[in-house]
Amino acid sequence: MSSDPVRTAAKPSIADRYRVLLEVGRTLTGTLTHEELYRSIYEETSRVLEADGFYISLFDENRDEATIVFFADRSEVKRTDVTYRGSDSPVLRTGEASLVTDRLETRSLLILGDDATQVTRSGMSAPLRWKGRTLGAVSVQSYQPAAFDEVDLELLQGIADLAAVALENARHVAELDRKRREAEQVEQIGRAMASSLDPQEVLARIIHAVLDLVENARAASVWLIEPDRVARVAASGGSPAPPVGLEAKLRDSPFADVAEQARPVTLDDLRAGPMLPDPLREYVSGGSGVAVPLTVGDEVAGILFCDSPDDRPMGDDEEKILLRLASQASVALGNARLHASVQSLSLTDPLTLLANRRHLRLHLEREVAAARRGRSLHAVLFDLDQFKQFNDTYGHLAGDKALQAFADVLRAENRAMNLVARFGGDEFVSILTDSSEEGIRQYIERVLSRVRRDPVLASGDIEVTWGISVFDAHTMLTPDDVIEAADADFYRRKEKRSRGGHEG
């Protein structure tokens, strides 16, 4: 990208300077984005000063770091990532303009030109001053010696003063726009939390908000911390973003500091040292980042991480944005945990910790629907024989232990995809899918064998009777029909046993 600014042939008079400054003021105050503003400062300066070379630097006083944000050499605008210590610059250190008539290389930190034989020789720099602070500097250079004088320096300082006001206005406008967008994002996150108890939907909204609000964000991810000090990606976005499910050990990384000390960690240079968990390195090729904790109660439940390709470290503004979004994510995780806990209590038998009757019905509704589409479905109803006699002989506490022991038997023999529930009293139900009749028979034999070996059940001479139902789409219309069929088979077997027959 290049431009060819019009230059005046002669030095401007005092009246001309006032007119120029007035025009510069009008132009700069009408420019809102920083990128447009940098180019306008360059073009307006080039109209009245010989600007073979030109750059604008912004100064971070807290870090003592100046960054070149706009750079032009012989009318060609170029990209650069030059940074330097602000205290090394007399202009930034003192807040006073500087004029060099020759041998610029001995006085300047940034010399323009293609090689050592053709470099800028004279130049001047003026601080961007606003309310007693130095925001940065603007510099004009020439390939000729003595191209500028004190009159030019005074004019450049006038332009710099107007530019500083315009830059601060642009910063305020950008900040107001960012706050507006942040308010909109938080509102959308709030709506997501109000409409859904699924934390994934909320976390996805938070990732979107990070990428929208953090300037030059490359990727963002939410890591949930597992009990064994392993962090796992629960949501991510950007490019390249770590995939959901990626795991990393917390030890020996800044993530461990976030988790253990519940405090944000700024990663200034992601290429230097062991700054990231190893599995994350594949997705981060340098730049900087910030990791902040997601706290639920007194516990760090996760980490919100954002990285940028910029070598310029992320600052307090980015950290504050992430902390505000992290608080939203923490509320979502807390709500999800509470909901899961309440849901678990409402669906779990408190004595055996198996599914309760309500849970059984909800599960059967889904499985009956699947069975109507061709999936096999069996239900096995178990009953503990002589349980009332056991209770009367050994007491209710012993009876509770017997029920818990049988629940452990069923839990040990059930596949993860199947459900075992306490139906009521000493009755239990196993729902088995994708099993054959031979597989059901083997399952029951394994349960009976384990009951005979169990010290609690065997000592009380507790035996087990069962009933089986096989889903029939013609006769079974509801979950109750499946259970009633198993119950009917159970009574047939029990009656047969009472007559001295053998169960098949």
One-character DSSP codes across 201-219: HHHHHHHHHHHHHSTT--E
Residue 447 has pLDDT above 60, yes or no: yes
CA distance 223 to 486: 46
pLDDT value of position 442:
93
Model pTM?
0.47
Backbone angles phi, psi at 18, to 5 degrees: -60, -40
The answer to whether the peptide bond before residue 240 is cis (omega within 30 degrees of 0) is yes
Q: Give the count of alpha carbons within 13 A of 316, CB side only.
A: 4
Averaged pLDDT for residues 51-76: 88
Length of the chain: 504
Q: Is the dihedral of CA 278, 284, 286, 290 positive or negative?
A: negative
Residue 150 has pLDDT above 80, yes or no: yes
Range 273-281, long-range pairs (CB < 8 A, 24+ positions): 277/231, 277/248, 277/249, 277/250, 277/253, 278/248, 279/242, 279/246, 279/247, 279/248, 280/242, 280/246, 280/248
Do residues 427 and 407 touch, judged by C-beta distance below 8 A? no
Q: What percent of the chain has pLDDT over 70?
A: 86
CATH topology of domain 14-174: Beta-Lactamase (3.30.450)
CA distance 56 to 70: 5
pLDDT value of position 502:
55
Other Cβ atoms within 10 Å of 56 Cβ, number = 25
pLDDT digits (tens, 9 = 90+) for 204-227: 888 888 888 887 889 999 888 877
* Amino acid letter for position 62: N
Token pair of 209, please? 């908000």
Other Cβ atoms within 10 Å of 86 Cβ, number = 22
Residue 316 DSSP SS3: helix
Of the pLDDT bands very low, low, confident and very high (cuts 50, 70, 90), residue 5 is: very low
Token pair of 117, please? 């034989």
343-358: buried (b, 16+ CB within 10 Å) or exposed (e) per residue? Answer: eeeebbbeebebbbee
CA distance 427 to 429: 7
Between the ranges 270-274, 342-346, 449-453, where is the mean pLDDT highest?
Answer: 449-453
Residue 501 has pLDDT above 60, yes or no: no
CATH topology of domain 197-344: Beta-Lactamase (3.30.450)
Of the pLDDT bands very low, low, confident and very high (cuts 50, 70, 90), residue 471 is: very high
* Diameter of the chain measured on Cα atoms: 124
pLDDT value of position 190:
65
Q: Which CATH architecture has domain 357-498?
A: 2-Layer Sandwich (3.30)
pLDDT value of position 56:
93
CA distance 243 to 253: 19
User: Which stretches within 214-264 are classed as H helix?
Assistant: 254-261
Residue 456 has pLDDT above 50, yes or no: yes
pLDDT digits (tens, 9 = 90+) for 288-317: 888 999 888 788 888 899 988 876 777 777
Q: What percent of the chain has pLDDT over 90?
A: 22
pLDDT value of position 375:
87
Token pair of 201, please? 């939907």
pLDDT value of position 421:
93
**Which of 432, 440, 441, 422 shows the shortest CA–CA distance to 364?**
432
Residue 320 has pLDDT above 90, yes or no: no
Backbone angles phi, psi at 128, to 5 degrees: -90, 100
pLDDT digits (tens, 9 = 90+) for 74-116: 888 887 778 888 888 889 999 999 998 887 666 554 555 555 5
User: Which stretches within 85-147 are classed as H helix?
Assistant: 90-94
Average pLDDT for the chain: 82
Give strand pairing partners of 378: 432, 470
pLDDT value of position 262:
87
Averaged pLDDT for residues 442-463: 89
pLDDT value of position 8:
42
- CA 207 to chain centroid, in Å, comes to 5
Query: E strands, 377-426, where?
Result: 377-385, 419-424
pLDDT value of position 7:
45
CA distance 127 to 136: 6
Instruction: Give the β-pairing of 133-142 and 122-130.
Output: antiparallel
Token pair of 349, please? 């038998």
Given this chain, do its domains 197-344 and 357-498 carry the same CATH topology? no
CA distance 170 to 167: 5
Domain ranges in the chain? 14-174, 197-344, 357-498
Location of structure tokens 């770590």 = 242
pLDDT value of position 261:
86
Backbone angles phi, psi at 81, to 5 degrees: -120, 30
Least confident of 158-167, 181-190, 318-327: 181-190
Token pair of 87, please? 């205290």
- CA 164 to chain centroid, in Å, comes to 36
**Which of 340, 332, 279, 289 shows the shortest CA–CA distance to 312?**
289
Residue 504 has pLDDT above 60, yes or no: no
CA distance 91 to 190: 48
User: CA dihedral defined by 108, 111, 116, 122, rounded to 10 degrees?
Assistant: -70
Q: Is the model more confident about 63 or about 306?
A: 306
CA distance 209 to 304: 12
pLDDT digits (tens, 9 = 90+) for 348-404: 888 888 988 888 888 898 899 888 888 889 999 999 988 888 888 888 888 899 999
